Structure 1
């Protein structure tokens, strides 16, 4: 396993995704930014933040636990995306694109979780 978080593909995808969410939400009107915007940015940022925190932990089991938190943030972000679409903050094209990117992150995170700790004895 790499010793640099920047070498982990799912981390980089999650970082890029959260930046997209940020730049979308910052263009919304105040009320939307203050409600849905803050929540979706926090949940999207939490995806890569938890991957990074787990990566920095000493034991692979802690790393997995933080990846499970990240997976929870993926599901939360999906919920906020749906709310943003329903409330006309996202058009269908952007919603589908963001949802597809989130699904890719989810899939790659599951693969990464399975990889963590392989070959280690506890």
Structure 2
């Protein structure tokens, strides 16, 4: 794994896409920017943010969870790109270019998650746990209780309630 999360190629790719989308959206008029642009920019930013969150987790399950969140944000970004095309806010070829970049990023995310799962499986098969050797417990004979739990009067009283 990389020394820092900034070294992750997948994170750099996500950041490049987010910056390009931001620059595009920032030039829009107020209504389209507020209705579609904000959602598009947030979704694009969320891809990289979730990759970074994944890197910061210690537990494999949490790492994978945030990679899956990043993948969800990626598809949300594609959704908003489709909205921009339908509303003619962005040229079709630009939407296709971003969509193609996101498809490549989705494959990278899948490969990254798959690599993480494989690493977990191989590290789990190594003898990496610390266990105490089992010991035999010797227990002496258990003495009978000196007094009965219930007296004869107690039992008669309980039977009278039934």
Give the TM-score band, short-chain normalised. over 0.9
Distance 1:13 1:21 in 2: 13
Match of 1:121 in 2: 124
Query: Aligned equivalents of 1:88 and 1:105: distance in 2?
Result: 25
More helix by share: 1
Q: TM-score if structure 2 supplies the norm length? A: 0.73
Q: Point out 4+ residue stretches in structure 1 off by more than 6 angstroms.
A: none
Structure 1 residues 29-82: Cα deviation after superposition (integer angstroms, max 9, x where no partner): 000110101000010000000000010011122111000000000111110000
Larger Rg: 2
Cα distance between partner residues in 2 of 1:4 and 1:103: 25
Looking at structure 2, the residues matched to 85 and 62 of structure 1 have their Cα atoms a distance apart, in angstroms, of 35
Shift of 1:21: 0.7
Tell me how far 1:120 sits from its aligned partner.
Answer: 2.5
TM-score (structure 1 length as normaliser): 0.96
Distance 1:120 1:47 in 2: 28
1:2 counterpart SS class: coil
Aligned equivalents of 1:65, 1:16: Cα separation in 2: 23
Aligned 1:10-29 pairs, distance under 5 A: 10-29=10-29
Aligned to 1:9: 9
- Two-structure CA RMSD over aligned residues (Å): 1.2
Query: Structure 2: 5+ residue runs without aligned partners?
Result: 126-162
